[in-house]
């Protein structure tokens, strides 16, 4: 999994501990996916090498994909525990779960762990929230989300 992150530590939080995971889960009132915690145990968030995910719906930015900049870790200034609730309020995202990624748009869209079907103790799907604030599932789990990350080069055209 460590191949996921770049060398930049911009989104990287403090060393992950069981106590930090428990404290964040208690604060956010959700059980974090095991695959997410496993990734963070290798590196607590970061900028990603593969930044795009193909989607089957057009969005405000592209007809066929979304792009992320980084995956938030836990703790610190850029942890989901510091940012998620603030972003949900500020950008009026639906209250379906936890904001997971930073986006190039600076808040106009989001990727979230979606607990709306599974409940706070279940395995969340991953949803994309566009400017219309309608959640659209992009992965059936966090592990599936990681598997779907791909190079953005495949979406580049002569005019982008």
Decide the pairing of beta strands 135-139 and 125-129.
antiparallel
Decide the pairing of beta strands 52-54 and 46-47.
unpaired
At 73, phi and psi to the nearest 5? -95, -150
What is the dotted CATH code of the domain comprising 2-152? 3.40.1580.10
- pLDDT the model gives residue 147: 97
- Kindly list the domain boundaries of the chain, sorted by start residue: 2-152
Task: Single out the residue of 35, 4, 17 nearest to residue 113, CA to CA.
Answer: 35
Summarised one tens digit per residue, pLDDT across range 55-101 is 999 999 999 999 999 999 999 999 999 999 999 999 999 999 999 99
pLDDT at 1 over 60: no
Per-residue b/e over 24-34, b at no fewer than 16 CB within 10 Å? bbeebebbbbe
Kindly list the strands in the beta sheet with 110-114, ordered across the sheet, starting from the edge strand earlier in the chain. 97-99, 110-114, 125-129, 135-139
- Model pTM score: 0.93
Instruction: Tell me the C-alpha to C-alpha distance, in Å, between residue 106 and each of 22, 33, 65.
Output: 29, 25, 17
- Mean pLDDT value across residues 149-159: 84
- pLDDT the model gives residue 35: 97
Beta carbons of 83 and 98 less than 8 angstroms apart: no
Task: Single out the residue of 64, 84, 65 nearest to residue 73, CA to CA.
Answer: 84
């Amino acid at each position: 999994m460590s191949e996921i992150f770049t060398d930049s530590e911009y989104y990287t939080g403090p060393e992950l501990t069981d106590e930090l995971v428990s404290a964040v889960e208690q604060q956010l009132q959700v059980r974090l996916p095991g695959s997410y915690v496993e990734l963070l145990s290798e590196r607590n968030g970061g900028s990603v090498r593969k930044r795009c995910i193909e989607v089957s719906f057009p969005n405000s930015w592209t007809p066929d994909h979304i792009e992320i900049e980084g995956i938030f870790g836990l703790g610190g200034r850029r942890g989901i525990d510091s940012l998620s609730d603030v972003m949900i309020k500020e950008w009026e995202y639906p209250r379906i779960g936890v904001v997971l990624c930073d986006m190039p748009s600076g808040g106009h869209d989001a990727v979230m762990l979606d607990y709306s079907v599974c409940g706070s103790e279940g395995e969340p799907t991953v949803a994309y929230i566009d400017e219309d604030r309608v959640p659209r599932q992009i992965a059936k789990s966090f592990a599936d989300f990681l598997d779907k990350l791909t190079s953005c080069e495949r979406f580049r055209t002569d005019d982008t």
